[in-house]
């Protein structure tokens, strides 16, 4: 009898579990064996036994959690045999090192775990790659038809336009330390901002790592000693801390897909919302499902109900996994 998808991968309290391979994917609590899609802290937690991920994700986990973040680690290279399945890692276009994980059993359906993914070109990571599969496990962070992320370069242009309109006000951009911050810097560079950009101390190690990986970020200076830098990047949590008080009359900006929704920006006191996301928006989520044409779609974290309804309207078999513990879009 051909195994059903549930025999190959199933949701558990610790996250997605593969019985024939005896491993979890992006587990929410310490497990003996973990495969990690990318380095965001809600997906890449410390304390597992053995960890397999891309070389860059392993490096990022070591930077964030220390060299002893797991008992042992293995960089994903080509297809690898684990127990009764073969696993392979494919670029997800989300952040540096991010991957989709394909599980190929000897018999039965191939399951692709997308992790978080994005199809908009991003100079800080490899582009998303289509992978043939029978079951597609998709994120649904922006799984409502209101989410159409605009061209990120246009958004960067809005930032520079505001800097030109308010030359005396420092512009503080909230951006998550892994991925968003470096992409924001790359976008500002692409939009024509050549001057030094000041970064909050929490962003330094990962910016250094991106540069070491050959991703040009241009001149960066510490926000503690910004010199004449008028563009400052910080993790959004810094906006609620006294750290902000050193800047005189700043324009607070925030780079996130959530900035599409005005109430989200308003409740955070953001003056310049920048809709820049490293997740697939609604058109990309639905186009990807059509393109991969899997037999079945499983929907993880985010707005499952919206994507589920779309699958129903398009007669695509789908079910929600209702995994708890992943953030909407981490900060």
Smallest gap from residue 239 Cβ to other proteins (A) = 7
Taking the mean position of all CA atoms in its chain, how far away is CA 247? 29
Q: Which residues bind other proteins (CB under 8 A)?
A: 144-148, 150, 158, 162, 165-166, 169, 172, 239-245, 247-250, 252, 260-263, 265-273, 303, 305-306, 309-310, 313
Length of the chain: 331
Question: 26 or 139: whose CB is closer to other proteins?
Answer: 139
DSSP state of 203: G
3-state secondary structure of 40: coil
* Minimum distance, C-beta of residue 308 to other proteins, in the bound complex (Å): 10
- Shortest distance in whole angstroms from residue 81 CB to other proteins: 42
**Structural contact between residues 246 and 234, judged by C-beta atoms closer than 8 angstroms:** no
Give me the least distance between CB of 241 and other proteins, in Å please.
7
Nearer to other proteins, 108 or 170 (CB): 170
Question: Closest CB to other proteins among 69 and 243?
Answer: 243
Angle value at C-alpha 37, between 310 and 92, nearest 5 degrees: 60
The beta-strand segments (E) located in the chain are: 10-12, 15-18, 23-25, 33-35, 48-53, 70-75, 80-82, 85-91, 99-105, 111-113, 135-140, 171-174, 197-199, 220-222, 231-234, 251-255, 272-274, 296-302, 318-320
Nearer to other proteins, 113 or 307 (CB): 307
CA distance 27 to 177: 21
Residue number, 176 or 310, with CB nearest to other proteins: 310
User: 67 vs 165, which CB is nearer to other proteins?
Assistant: 165
Between 109 and 174, CB nearer to other proteins: 174
Contact 37, 26 (CB under 8 A): yes
For the bound state, the minimum distance from the C-beta of residue 275 to other proteins, rounded and expressed in Å, comes to: 10
Gap between the Cα atoms of 141 and 121, Å rounded: 18
Tell me the two tokens of residue 139. 């994120």
Tell which residue, 45, 52, 116, has the closest CA to residue 83. 52
Residue 89 or 142 having the CB closest to other proteins: 142
Q: CA distances (Å), 249 to each of 42, 213, 271, in order?
A: 33, 36, 11
User: Which residue's entry shows tokens 């998709």?
Assistant: 138
Q: By C-beta, is 31 or 253 nearer to other proteins?
A: 253
Distance between terminal CA atoms of the chain? 45
What is the distance between the alpha carbons of residues 57 and 39, in angstroms, rounded to a whole number? 5
């Amino acid at each position: 009898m051909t195994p059903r998808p549930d025999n190959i991968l199933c949701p558990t309290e610790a996250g997605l579990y593969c019985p024939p391979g005896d491993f979890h994917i992006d587990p929410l609590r310490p497990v003996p064996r973990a495969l990690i899609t990318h380095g965001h802290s809600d997906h890449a937690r410390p304390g597992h036994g053995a960890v397999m991920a891309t070389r860059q994700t392993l490096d990022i986990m070591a930077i964030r959690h220390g060299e002893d973040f797991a008992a042992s680690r293995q960089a994903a290279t080509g297809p690898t045999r684990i127990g009764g399945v073969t696993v392979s890692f494919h670029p997800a276009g989300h952040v540096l090192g991010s991957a989709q994980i394909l599980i190929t059993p000897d018999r039965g359906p191939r399951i692709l775990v997308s992790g978080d993914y994005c199809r908009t070109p991003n100079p800080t990571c490899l582009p998303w790659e289509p992978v043939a599969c029978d079951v597609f496990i998709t994120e649904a962070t922006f799984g409502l038809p209101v989410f159409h992320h605009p061209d990120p370069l246009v958004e960067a242009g809005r930032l520079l336009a505001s800097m030109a309109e308010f030359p005396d006000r420092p512009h503080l951009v909230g951006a998550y330390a892994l991925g968003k911050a470096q992409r924001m810097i790359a976008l500002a560079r692409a939009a024509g901002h050549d001057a030094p950009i000041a970064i909050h101390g929490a962003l330094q190690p990962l910016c250094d790592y991106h540069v070491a990986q050959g991703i040009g970020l241009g001149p960066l200076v510490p926000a503690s000693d910004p010199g004449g830098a008028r563009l400052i990047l910080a993790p959004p949590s810094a906006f609620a801390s006294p750290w902000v008080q050193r800047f005189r009359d700043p324009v607070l900006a925030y780079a996130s897909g959530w900035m599409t929704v005005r109430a989200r920006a308003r409740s955070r006191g953001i003056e310049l919302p920048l809709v820049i996301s490293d997740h697939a928006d609604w058109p990309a989520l639905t186009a990807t499902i059509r393109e991969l044409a899997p037999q079945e779609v499983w929907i993880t974290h985010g707005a499952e109900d919206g994507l589920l309804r779309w699958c129903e309207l398009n007669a695509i078999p789908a079910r929600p996994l209702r995994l708890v513990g992943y953030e909407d879009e981490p900060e």
